[in-house]
A and B are shown apart, each in its own frame.
Chain A
């Protein structure tokens, strides 16, 4: 037998072996390399920093929030405001890597793309200028106190974040982080979770804003309801807060007293399709580019039945949203129905003061028509004036708002307040979430929102 034929077979096999090596190498580089290279265990990431003084981070008024101290070869990242920005700026540790802005703006902070070549000379990274108003952030933080939750404030017309507070928090200084890491990770209330941007909660009655939008567009706002206090359909039972029955009421009153009966009935009547479509218009299930890692708000049903639609219409069921997203919902009402993409980094500048880039506001989603926004504005003002949101009233300024009390897996409800002011020319939209608060949304969350608004408007 002449072995040559078989030798050629072996040559083909060897050829396939070598080609598979090349293919795998290219595949790895295309699809896995980025994640692998940014693994905190990859020591290469820290090499560039030998020659770079990491950029500073400032608030909207130039107050220093993060800086790097250079001492020979060691670099110490300092956070003058301590824990206040632990969920915004994040941390920066050789052992545990980077998070939030420190991670997402790593390249900019290191001044990558800088074409000046320098040998062994310390280069400066770029500085970040945030949209955050430090005094408001501090104030909101103090207002929240030791309660678990989040406060989000943003400018409705642009989407600029004015304050972004999540508690509990942690000390982001690398030294303290490395000492307490295990304790922080094991702590039951998860201080590492940035609640404002990554916590997912049922929005509760604040979601009635979206349901009202749907009702407005379906022409249902003229309807009156016979509120018996208990919505009962298809085996689903939902009662009003405090088991109250409101009798004959219209939509405006129902919004003001936050009647679950009315909104469940609306959701049931409009059906799953409309409810899903409305959620989509408010950006639920849609991811967007934010300057921090965001959890995607979600509405998860394989098939949605009318009873589910009723439940979602009052912000319960399989509907989960981040506090930032809830704030965006009310900001959309304030901004004639246009939901803006929120942003946190206003501009990037070099150490010598040259501006490299400035963020421009952009539309995220047209959530409702202008007329509908005006209608909702009236309803939300009324809710604060006479309804459940009375605790958020400010004399001399018209505040629009909506409370929420969201049931969850525990018997202590989450408390929500979302709103904006001044109603005729909105400057600030606020969302407050108190995790497992146990009380009604208006009681504890309302006053925090009121104070934050008052502070921002300088009253």
Chain B
């Protein structure tokens, strides 16, 4: 068995450390020798070593996913420090909290075995969060999706994503078979999904709508033998999209500023053109950490962080990030495929799709491949809720992978 013998997961860990040391040291030199940058880098490195040591020592399943997520976080924190050191400091706190949430969700998910019975809880929980947002929410950048509790504010929709995936998994894993007042689980799921999406429309959170919708569609494709139901959903969505385009100004603006942002650079096309300027100025190898001007890009610390990556680390740096996400998705798909428990399989698939679709939507939007809808880039963007929720998702995937590994006796994921 290769549990501790092979170098196959140590070498990438060393690479991560090297990248962390080099990155923060370079930024330290480029940014007027601000010692805080070194402290942040050291803190981050310490956190990663701690998290990773626990994973390896406790033999918690897949050893690579967290490493790759840490790589993304390193790049994210590096850029956040460069944009505004305060973001970097706060992000470190979120990462620490996220790490704790990771182990908590791992332990909770691993040890409790009746998750597949709680569909009602997920549904009501999701609805409750949406209602709370509508009643107590604040509007930020045109989307009413923040709740503030004193000085602390969070985005309930991020949490709802996990609830939604668990809710879907109950149905698709066939662990929920009893009709609810004569409505079969299939149609209850359908109803629940569009109810969530309906709430998101009220919040004008178009990016999250797309994430929910695509997760649902992919899940239907995987689990529904008869593809007519899939076609029905896609067809209905297409009609709604066309109607939305005809009647909703918000959507028209997004489409027109996608088709031709140059027509109105200083106004509607401002965000996307600033992002394109940054990417175009970066070229293949970037202008170098600290040499670019990401501050020209609006929302650069959250939705548009990918443009800053491209400006300072180049198109190749951006492509590397996309490939890292792809590798994470690939590992997660592998876990979903090998998972034996149907509920675990469905949850793992849903979470994997969440990462993939979210990455595709925001990166595609920032580079103007698809219309722009604001959403965070997992692990890279600044944001407490986003980081913590992504860590929770990773914790669940990790728990599923650990279950499987222990069942098969050790190395089902340690491919060589």
Please indicate whether A and B come from the same complex rather than being unrelated chains: yes
- A13 vs B354: C-alpha distance in the bound complex, in angstroms? 14
Contact B325 A6 (CB under 8 A): no
Report the 8 A-B pairs with minimum CB-CB distance, sorted nearest first.
Answer: A36-B280, A33-B280, A37-B280, A42-B277, A6-B222, A18-B326, A24-B369, A11-B333
- A11 vs B331: C-alpha distance in the bound complex, in angstroms? 11
Residues 296-322 of B, flagged 1 when their CB comes within 8 A of A and 0 if not, give: 100000000000001000010011001
Contact A7 B222 (CB under 8 A): yes
Query: A301 an interface residue at 8 Å Cβ cutoff?
Result: no
Q: Which residues of A contact B337 (CB under 8 A)?
A: 4, 7-8
Contact A21 B322 (CB under 8 A): yes
Q: Which residues of B contact A32 (CB under 8 A)?
A: 280
- A22 vs B310: C-alpha distance in the bound complex, in angstroms? 12
Please report which residues of chain A, range 8-26, place their CB below 8 angstroms from some CB of chain B when the two chains form the complex.
8-11, 13-15, 17-18, 20-22, 24-26
Interface of A is mostly: helix
Contact B280 A18 (CB under 8 A): no
Q: Which residues of B contact A15 (CB under 8 A)?
A: 326, 330
- A33 vs B262: C-alpha distance in the bound complex, in angstroms? 14
Contact B367 A22 (CB under 8 A): no
A14-B356, A44-B293 known; A1+B225 contact, CB < 8 A: yes
Q: Which residues of B contact A42 (CB under 8 A)?
A: 277, 280-281
- Count residues of chain B with CB under 8 A from any CB of chain A: 44
Contact A44 B281 (CB under 8 A): yes
Q: Which residues of A contact B353 (CB under 8 A)?
A: 10, 14
Query: B323 an interface residue at 8 Å Cβ cutoff?
Result: yes
Contact A25 B319 (CB under 8 A): yes
- A4 vs B336: C-alpha distance in the bound complex, in angstroms? 8
Please report which residues of chain B, range 143-200, place their CB below 8 angstroms from some CB of chain A when the two chains form the complex.
none
- A42 vs B360: C-alpha distance in the bound complex, in angstroms? 26
Contact B367 A9 (CB under 8 A): no
Query: A186 an interface residue at 8 Å Cβ cutoff?
Result: no
A15-B326, A33-B283 known; A10+B218 contact, CB < 8 A: yes
Specify the chain A residue showing the minimal Cβ separation from B329: A14
B residues sitting closer than 8 Å to A (CB atoms) are 218, 221-223, 225, 262, 265-266, 273, 276-281, 283-284, 292-293, 296, 310, 315, 318-319, 322-323, 325-326, 329-330, 333, 336-337, 345, 349, 353, 356, 359-360, 363-364, 367-369
Contact A29 B284 (CB under 8 A): yes
14 A-B pairs within 8 Å (CB atoms) are namely A15-B330, A18-B325, A18-B329, A18-B359, A21-B322, A22-B319, A22-B323, A24-B364, A29-B280, A29-B284, A37-B280, A43-B277, A44-B278, A44-B296
- A430 vs B277: C-alpha distance in the bound complex, in angstroms? 43
Q: For A24, A43, A44, which residue has the most chain B Cβ atoms within 10 angstroms?
A: A44
Given contacts A6-B223, A29-B279, A43-B277, 6 further A-B contacts (CB under 8 A): A14-B353, A14-B360, A18-B322, A29-B315, A33-B280, A42-B280
Q: How far is the CB of A65 from chain B (nearest CB, A)?
A: 30
Specify the chain A residue showing the minimal Cβ separation from B314: A29
Q: Which residues of B contact A14 (CB under 8 A)?
A: 326, 329, 333, 353, 356, 360
- A7 vs B336: C-alpha distance in the bound complex, in angstroms? 8
Q: How far is the CB of A182 from chain B (nearest CB, A)?
A: 15
Q: Which residues of A contact B318 (CB under 8 A)?
A: 25
- A112 vs B325: C-alpha distance in the bound complex, in angstroms? 37
- A8 vs B352: C-alpha distance in the bound complex, in angstroms? 13
- A386 vs B394: C-alpha distance in the bound complex, in angstroms? 94
Contact A6 B221 (CB under 8 A): yes
Specify the chain A residue showing the minimal Cβ separation from B342: A3
In-complex Cβ contact of B360 among A6, A7, A21 (8 A): A21
Q: How far is the CB of B68 from chain A (nearest CB, A)?
A: 14
Q: Which residues of B contact A24 (CB under 8 A)?
A: 364, 367, 369
A residues sitting closer than 8 Å to B (CB atoms) are 1, 3-4, 6-11, 13-15, 17-18, 20-22, 24-26, 28-29, 32-34, 36-37, 39, 41-44, 47
Specify the chain A residue showing the minimal Cβ separation from B348: A7
Q: How far is the CB of A365 from chain B (nearest CB, A)?
A: 36
- A41 vs B271: C-alpha distance in the bound complex, in angstroms? 12
- A37 vs B227: C-alpha distance in the bound complex, in angstroms? 46
Contact B363 A28 (CB under 8 A): no
Contact A3 B322 (CB under 8 A): no
Specify the chain A residue showing the minimal Cβ separation from B278: A44
- A39 vs B279: C-alpha distance in the bound complex, in angstroms? 13
Q: Which residues of A contact B356 (CB under 8 A)?
A: 14, 17-18
- A47 vs B292: C-alpha distance in the bound complex, in angstroms? 10
Q: Which residues of B contact A17 (CB under 8 A)?
A: 356, 360
Q: Which residues of B contact A43 (CB under 8 A)?
A: 277, 293, 296
Contact A41 B218 (CB under 8 A): no
Specify the chain B residue showing the minimal Cβ separation from A47: B293
Q: Which residues of A contact B336 (CB under 8 A)?
A: 7
- A301 vs B164: C-alpha distance in the bound complex, in angstroms? 65
- A21 vs B367: C-alpha distance in the bound complex, in angstroms? 8
Q: Which residues of B contact A1 (CB under 8 A)?
A: 225
Q: Which residues of A contact B280 (CB under 8 A)?
A: 28-29, 32-34, 36-37, 42
Specify the chain B residue showing the minimal Cβ separation from A13: B218
- A23 vs B356: C-alpha distance in the bound complex, in angstroms? 17
Q: How far is the CB of A26 from chain B (nearest CB, A)?
A: 6
Specify the chain A residue showing the minimal Cβ separation from B336: A7
- A73 vs B237: C-alpha distance in the bound complex, in angstroms? 55
Q: Which residues of A contact B221 (CB under 8 A)?
A: 6, 9-10
